[in-house]
Chains A and B, each alone.
Chain A
Amino acid sequence: MALHERLQDVFRDVFNNPGLVVDGTTTSADIPEWDSLQHVTLLFRIEDEFGVEFLGDEAASLGNVGELESLLTQKGCG
Chain B
Amino acid sequence: MASSAFDDALGALLSSGDDHRRAGDLDRALEAYTKAADLTEVPTGAVCVRLARVSADAGRVDEARDWALRTVDAGDDFASWDAAARAFAPIGLAAGATKRTVRVAILGSYTTTYVTRLLQLVAARRGVRVECYESAYDQFRQEMLDPSSGLHAFAPQLIVFAVDARAVVLPEWSDQPEADIEAEVAGWRNLWARADDLGASVIQHNFVVAPEAALAHLDAQLAGSRYHMLTQLNARIAAELPANSHVVDCERLASTFGKNRWLDPLWWDRAKLAVSLPATPVLVRHTAAVIAGQLGLARKCLVIDLDNTLWGGVIGEDGVDGLKLGGDASGDAFLVFQDHLLALKRRGVILAACSKNDDHVAREPFERHPEMRVRLSDFAAFVANWRSKVDNIVEIATDLSIGLDALAYVDDNPVERQEVRRFLPDVDVIPLPAQPSSYTRALADYAWFETGTVTAEDAQRTAHYQARAEVNRLERSAASIDDFYRELQMAGSLRPFDDTDLARIAQLVGKTNQFNLTARRHDLRALQAMITDDRYVHVSLRLRDRYADHGLVGVVIAKQDGEVLDIDTWLMSCRVIGRTAEQAMLGALARAGTERGCTTLRGTYVPTGKNALVKDLYPTLGFTLEAANDAGNGATTTWRRAIDDDARAGSPYIDLEVGAGRGAA
Contact = CB atoms under 8 A, between A and B. Distances in A.
Interface of A: 13-14, 16, 18-19, 37, 40-41, 43-45, 48, 53, 56, 59
B628 interface: no
B476 interface: no
A56 B78 CA distance: 22
A45 to B, nearest CB: 6
Contacts of A16: 53, 83, 86-87
Given A40-B271, A53-B266, A59-B270, A19 B83 contact: no
A15 to B, nearest CB: 10
Contact of A44 (B18, B21, B53, B277): B277
A56 B269 contact: yes
Nearest to A45: B79
Contacts of A37: 113
B270 A41 contact: no
Q: Which of B18, B83, B113, B270 has the most chain A CB atoms inside 10 A of its CB? A: B270
B270 A18 contact: no
A48 B278 CA distance: 11
B266 A40 contact: no
Contacts, number: 28
Contacts of A41: 79, 82, 277
A43 B83 contact: no
B79 A48 contact: yes
Nearest to B52: A16
Given A16-B53, A41-B79, A44-B79, 16 more contacts: A14-B83, A16-B83, A16-B86, A16-B87, A18-B21, A19-B22, A40-B270, A40-B271, A40-B273, A41-B82, A43-B270, A44-B78, A44-B277, A45-B79, A53-B266, A59-B270
Contacts of B271: 40
Contacts of A56: 269-270
Nearest to B53: A16
A41 B118 CA distance: 13
Interface of B: 18, 21-22, 53, 78-79, 82-83, 86-87, 113, 266, 269-271, 273, 277
A13 B277 CA distance: 17
B16 to A, nearest CB: 13
Contacts of B270: 40, 43, 56, 59
Nearest to A56: B269
Given A37-B113, A41-B82, A56-B269, A18 B22 contact: yes
B83 A13 contact: yes
The 10 closest A-B pairs by CB, nearest first: A18-B22, A40-B271, A18-B21, A44-B277, A19-B22, A37-B113, A16-B53, A41-B82, A45-B79, A18-B18
A45 B269 CA distance: 17
B630 to A, nearest CB: 41
A70 B392 CA distance: 61
A41 B82 CA distance: 9
A69 B21 CA distance: 26
A41 B113 CA distance: 12
20 contacts: A14-B83, A16-B53, A16-B83, A16-B86, A16-B87, A18-B18, A18-B21, A18-B22, A19-B22, A40-B271, A40-B273, A40-B277, A41-B82, A41-B277, A44-B78, A44-B277, A48-B79, A56-B269, A56-B270, A59-B270
Nearest to A59: B270
A53 B271 CA distance: 15
B114 to A, nearest CB: 8
A21 B315 CA distance: 61
Contacts of A18: 18, 21-22
Nearest to B273: A40
A37 B116 CA distance: 13
A40 to B, nearest CB: 5
B112 to A, nearest CB: 11
A10 B22 CA distance: 15
A48 B77 CA distance: 12
A48 B277 CA distance: 11
Nearest to B15: A9
A56 B86 CA distance: 28
Contacts of A19: 22
A22 to B, nearest CB: 14
A16 B78 CA distance: 16
A46 B277 CA distance: 13
A40 B78 CA distance: 13
A16 B90 CA distance: 14
A16 B18 CA distance: 11
B272 to A, nearest CB: 10
